[in-house]
Structure 1
């Protein structure tokens, strides 16, 4: 299976804000910039899936008008009470508790990494095409990458959670070539 994974454009949020599952807007100029950059890439005509959050759905629709399947299993992690708060305003003890138990701790009382990994694995299990273009989030891309080689779910979830965040806005990551 070959997956073409695209991280959404930079959303219109203040730097340092935790926005995980929040449906934050994307400036039109940023959407156009990322679309133009991706149009220059050699991405084949494929089935297109996207997180339903507008920062992904809008880009996917520009890339494949009328051919996008939105799937909530591709959404970013829900940080509950941490959503739309500056990371600097989240108590250090809460962040430390999450770091001490990456798989099971529920940041902001919502999802944990294992919950997200289960829903992303469910999406992969249901994917029937040999190749697909997926517009989603950095966390989802890290999980898809960790799961792609058949790594067991808990190990893949931990690997994704421990992987430093180095996926740029609008970046294309190709798995399985």
Structure 2
């Protein structure tokens, strides 16, 4: 099974703003550039899964026909983390004590009263398990957080280990970037 993870294009949001589950648009230029790069690089005919947030669904809806793939399948389990009342606030405006509390418990803390990384890891693990049962290649359009957790899940970690690994390592995943997860099949 080969999973091709794709990060959405850059959303329309100011630098330094906390956003996770916020449903942000992307510019037409960013979308066009990302579509051009991906349509030339990705295999055709694979199922396309997408986070239901518009920065992903716009890309998925326009990419699937270019790849001669079926209509995208939206799955809320691969949406980005919910930062609660931190959403759409400048990181600099979030009280330092709250940031420190999150840093002290990266796995279980609920930033802004929203979702913990462990909760997100649980839904990502359930999505991954469903894909494994299907045993077919797929393209997954999602978010940097989901990509990091899917990658950790692919190594065999349980949700707590996934959350810890993803939370401890800052991501270097660019907008529109891909990450390929390849599973060994029997006999290889």
TM-score tier after normalising by the smaller chain length: over 0.9
Q: Secondary structure at the residue paired with 1:64? A: helix
2:9 matches 1:9: yes
Deviations 1:78-132 (A, max 9, x none): 0000000011110111111001001110000010000000001111112224211
Query: Aligned partners of 1:142, 1:44: CA distance in 2, in Å?
Result: 24
Find 2:173's aligned residue among 167, 174, 177: 167
Unaligned ranges ≥5, structure 1: none
On the 8 A contact 1:18/1:83 being kept in 2, the answer is yes
Deviation for aligned residue 1:157: 1.3
TM-score, structure 1 as length reference: 0.96
CA RMSD between the two structures: 1.2
2:98 matches 1:94: yes
Q: 5 Å matches for 1:24-173?
A: 24-65=24-65, 67-127=71-131, 128-173=134-179
TM-score, structure 2 as length reference: 0.91
Query: Aligned partners of 1:97, 1:3: CA distance in 2, in Å?
Result: 34
Query: Aligned partners of 1:94, 1:84: CA distance in 2, in Å?
Result: 16
Larger Rg: 2
On the 8 A contact 1:142/1:163 being kept in 2, the answer is no
Unaligned ranges ≥5, structure 2: 184-188
Q: Secondary structure at the residue paired with 2:41? A: coil
Q: How many residues end up aligned between the 2 structures?
A: 177
Deviations 1:8-57 (A, max 9, x none): 00001000111100001111111011010112214342111000000001
